[in-house]
Chain A
Amino acid sequence: MRRLIGGAIYLLSGAVGVLAFIYPFFVPAGAVPQHGMAHSQDAPLLTAALVGLSVVALLVELQGRSLSAKTVAMLGVLVAVTSVLRFLEVAFPMPGGFSPIFAPIIIAGYVFGGRFGFLMGTFTLLASGLVTGGVGPWLPYQMFTAGWAGLSAGWLGRMSKGLKEHVAHVPQRDESRLTLRFSRLDLLILCLFGFFWGLLYGAIMNIYFWPFAVGAAEQTWTPGIGLGETLARYGAFYVVTSLAWDLARAAGNVALIVVLGRPMVKALERFRRRFHFQIQESGHSMAEAGPNA
């Protein structure tokens, strides 16, 4: 029952957040006042509240299964390390939207799972926002998007391990055996994932203000023009305003994952085994237990 409701919370939180972002793609004519009209700013305020509430609900659920001291300590330290990397970004502006914080979030989610990845994504953006003076109305959107990048990286890692488990016929319950070699295929998959999120992060961050942006008719949103036309207009807007910027981020993610991916996964896997080392009550020896993180 608990799992069922937990799944429903994931689903509903995702649905609320995603629908708050992508409503321009399906909303009928006259549903939302357009730019240049009184009350045209109601929708952005509402969507900001919806995204904030969906992040809050998911955070409560993710914290619901209490975090162990080891998970809390590791999460705190990893957030600190990643936030320090953001100092580099602020101190030495990098090309386009390149930011060194996404690769660690993706890799940590991949190794430690979706829950850890979501928390790492949201807390990294929050902590680095606090220390670099980056708190603002954009922060809930950044936290939501980075959190989902970490969460989906956890699903990717789980799928990858599950697939290997299936192919290698490793017993399902034996967590210790799930640490398999990080192959070139894994690296390639992680690079593609980093590239995809590099573009998606920018595309999502654009959507929240796109319906209220003023521009050429073929790039601006008009309610009720249909999904195809809306996608075409958003595509034109995205290509003109953001593609080059986001390509730098995506390429940066790939470069960082290529260079740091294997050693980081190796180091994190090693610490994952150390952190989950527990003494089994019924056993005659010490063994690794399943992740309670």
Chain B
Amino acid sequence: MLDARVWLLWALTTLVAASSTRSPLYVIVLLLTTTVVGGTCATGEGRRAPLSPLRFAVVAVPLSALFNGLTVHFGDTVLFHLPSWLPLLGGAITLEALAFGALNGLTLTVIFSAFSVFNQVTPVRDLIQLTPRAFHEGGVVLSIALTFIPQTTRSLKRIREAQAVRGHRVEGIRDWLPIVVPLLVSGLERAMGLAEAMVARGYGAVTDEDHPLRTQGLLALGLLALLAGWLTYLFRAAWRISAVVTMAAGAGIIGLALWLTGRRVQHTVYRARSWTSGDTLTVLGCALTLTVALTQRETLYYSPYPQLSLPPFDPLVGTALLGLLVPAIVTVAKEDRGPDARGTQQAEALDEAP
């Protein structure tokens, strides 16, 4: 099982790569990659997305093609005309507009599919562990919320059953009142007990102090640099590089403030997860894809306007996009190693146990 940070990098790399191209060939390569990775790695009982990528594609691709085809009257291959008195829709319906809409839908499907895989393969506990130390209070809030969600769901069920026994039926919003208010009050009562337990165990006894002025100053300075950089980027095209450097400096200053804040918080790990060779390989694969996505924008670029044409395909760029397949290769290789690998997996599972 890969590190949650590696999975996050994988999902973000897919996002950047998918955002960088509208060429159907590269988009299909990315879609196949995410499908293979999903099919190989997300086989367990993870969190399922409310909508599968296939169902998303069935809705998003035709809808996007239809919307674009009906509202964009540009392109050489005219299929038919809609009467001009129809507001927005009137005009030529072109093959190019339909194709571009379908491509947009397909790109959205790639992004949705990547994050769907990410949601399935990363346990919530691992995601919370990614919380920077500076947000330790936020991490505590999130942990409490995620711990209380199953309890709250059980409370909701109990309250609904109790109200049903009294003859209460949920038919409209007004009928939510006898359910939501007891749910809220019982939750707040639990919060009261939890707060008392936290105080009794010394929560806030050590770190109950405000951030130093220096951190606040750094945050303000970082935000000011971001603002100045963004305005320069928008209004001074000639100074674009300086603008990007200023924004990067702003991001760095905010990062420094985060690091300084995090240093004040003691962080302990019960069982630290060890970095595996699979993690390293996946990072290298993502780095390859990311480099190509950021440097080969012109190669990845494609537009079906004004006349639909066969999109160009560079095999090197296509191969570089396959860097995103590494998680699937690592998983398959691990399974093929047989009993030893299973032993390692069990050891890893023990390592990851809370």
Query: What is the interface of chain A, defined by CB distance below 8 A to chain B?
Result: 1-2, 5-6, 8-9, 12-13, 15-16, 19-20, 23, 27-28, 30-32, 36, 38-39, 41, 44-46, 49-50, 53-54, 56-57, 59-61, 63-70, 72-81, 83-85, 87, 90, 119, 123, 126-127, 130-137, 214-216, 218-219, 236, 240, 252, 255-256, 259-260, 263-264, 267-268, 271, 274-275
Q: Name the distance in Å between A99's Cβ and chain B's nearest Cβ.
A: 13
Size of the chain B interface, CB-CB below 8 angstroms: 98
Q: Name the distance in Å between A52's Cβ and chain B's nearest Cβ.
A: 9
Contact A256 B173 (CB under 8 A): yes
Contact B234 A130 (CB under 8 A): no
Contact B144 A73 (CB under 8 A): yes
Between A and B, 9 residue pairs with Cβ closer than 8 Å are A19-B231, A23-B234, A31-B234, A57-B222, A60-B211, A67-B137, A83-B152, A84-B152, A215-B71
Task: Evaluate whether A53 and B250 lie within 8 angstroms (CB atoms) in the complex, with A6-B216, A78-B187 already known.
Answer: yes
Q: Name the distance in Å between A10's Cβ and chain B's nearest Cβ.
A: 10
Task: Evaluate whether A130 and B219 lie within 8 angstroms (CB atoms) in the complex, with A56-B254, A136-B111 already known.
Answer: no
Contact B251 A131 (CB under 8 A): no
Identify B19's interface contact among A44, A78, A240, CB under 8 A.
A44
Determine the residue in chain B with the shortest Cβ distance to A103.
Answer: B180
Contact B181 A267 (CB under 8 A): yes
Residues of A within 8 A of B223 (CB): 9, 12-13, 15-16, 53-54, 57
Determine the residue in chain B with the shortest Cβ distance to A76.
Answer: B144
Contact A72 B137 (CB under 8 A): yes
Residue B101 interfacial (CB < 8 Å): yes
Residues of A within 8 A of B233 (CB): 31, 46
A5→B218 CA distance, assembly (Å) = 10
Query: What is the interface of chain B, defined by CB distance below 8 A to chain A?
Result: 15-16, 19-20, 47-50, 67-68, 71-73, 88, 100-101, 104, 111-112, 115-116, 118-120, 124, 127, 134-135, 137-138, 140-149, 151-153, 156, 173-174, 176-177, 180-181, 183-185, 187-188, 190-192, 194-195, 198-199, 203-204, 207-211, 213, 215-217, 219-220, 222-224, 226-227, 230-231, 233-235, 237, 247, 250-251, 254, 257-258, 261, 297-298, 301, 303, 305
A50→B226 CA distance, assembly (Å) = 7
Q: Is the interface of A mostly helix, strand, loop or mixed?
A: helix
Residues of B within 8 A of A83 (CB): 145, 149, 152
Most buried by A among B49, B177, B227: B227
A1→B217 CA distance, assembly (Å) = 10
Residues of B within 8 A of A274 (CB): 192
A105→B213 CA distance, assembly (Å) = 30
Determine the residue in chain B with the shortest Cβ distance to A260.
Answer: B180
Identify A73's interface contact among B49, B191, B211, B234, CB under 8 A.
B191
Contact B124 A130 (CB under 8 A): yes
Identify B72's interface contact among A38, A216, A267, CB under 8 A.
A216
A41→B152 CA distance, assembly (Å) = 42
Contact A259 B174 (CB under 8 A): yes
Known: A66-B137, A70-B192, A76-B148. 11 other contacts (CB 8 A): A12-B224, A19-B231, A31-B237, A50-B226, A61-B219, A66-B207, A76-B145, A80-B152, A84-B153, A133-B50, A275-B192
